[in-house]
Amino acid sequence: MDKRAKAAMPGFIKPQLATLKMKAPSEGWIHEIKYDGYRAQVHVDKGTARIFTRNGHDWTKRFSAIAGSFKPRSQTIFDGEVVVIHEGRTNFSELQADLAKGRQDRMLFYAFDILFHNGEDLRSKPQIKRKEILKELIDMLEPLVLYSEHLEGDGHELFEAAARLNYEGIVSKRTDAPYRSDRNEAWLKIKTIQTGKFPVVGFIKDPTGVAALYLGKKEGKELVYIGKVGTGWSRTVSSEIRKKLDTVVSPKAKLTRAIKKPKATWVEPTFYADIEYRDITSEGLLRASSFKGLSKGR
C-alpha cells in the first residue's frame, strides 16, 4: 500500500519554454510538431476546468468550450496549446480572428505535457514517462482535447516533413528530463522558414535610406498588396536600396487594388525583394518577414 502523502494541487505553474536551435537533435529525444497557437495550462479540479495563458491570466471564458471538455473528477494540470486548424494546419492568425469575434467552434486543445495528477506532482518524472501518463488520460477525454503525438530518435525527418507541409517547425524534448519552469535546453524549438521573391511597390523613407518596403504579389494579371518588411538590412544596405528605388519612383501605386499608405513613396515594380517569412495571414499578408536581398527583375 502506498503511504506517501498526497500533495495539494498547486496554482498556476510558470511554463517550461524551448530554446531556439538551428538543427534537430537525435538520440535521447522525442520530437513533436510545433503548434501555431496560444500556450495554455488547464487546471482540472473534480470536473471543473480553468485555463490559464502562459503568463498566468485566466482565459477560461475565452476558451469555455475547451474547458467544458475536461469532465474527469480528478485533480490534474495539463500543459498544451489552444489552436485553430485552417487549411490542414494550425494557424495563429485564424485563432486571433476567432478570439476577436468570440467564436470558439474551431478551437482545439493539443495537450503535450502533464504536471500534476491526483495528489502527485509529476514535474520530477522523466519527459517520456509524463507523456505515457498523459496519453492514458487524454484517450478518455472529449474530441476538443487531443494528445500531441511524438516521434523518437532523429528529429530531422520530422523537421523535413514539417517544412514540406508549411508547419511552423518542431519541438524536441529530452526523454529523461524533468519539467522546469524556465527557458532551457531540455526543450528545443527548430523553426521552418519560408522564402519568396516579391516585387517592391513602394517604400517609407528614413533620413539615409528606407524604413520599410511595401511588397506586392502577382496573381494572374493583377498585382496585389502582400504586406511590408522593415527588418533585415544594415544602414549601408538601406542606403543602397534607397538609391535603387529612387530611380523608379512612380506618382501613384501600381497595385491593382488601391491601398491607403500616407507615408508611402510608390515605385514601379521593377525591383524584387528576397524575403524570409513565417506564414501568410488570413488577411493575405506576410507574417514575421525579414529582408534578405534586392534584385532587378525576377
Instruction: Write out the DSSP string of 27-65.
Output: TTEEEEEPP-SEEEEEEEETTEEEEEETT--B-TTTTHH
> Residue 200's Cα: distance from chain center in Å?
27
Alpha-carbon span 2 to 7, nearest angstrom: 13
- Residues tagged active-site: 34
* Pair 109, 44: CB distance under 8 Å: no
* Pair 66, 35: CB distance under 8 Å: no
> Residue 141's Cα: distance from chain center in Å?
25
Q: Which of 65, 61, 68 is nearest to 44 (CA)?
A: 68
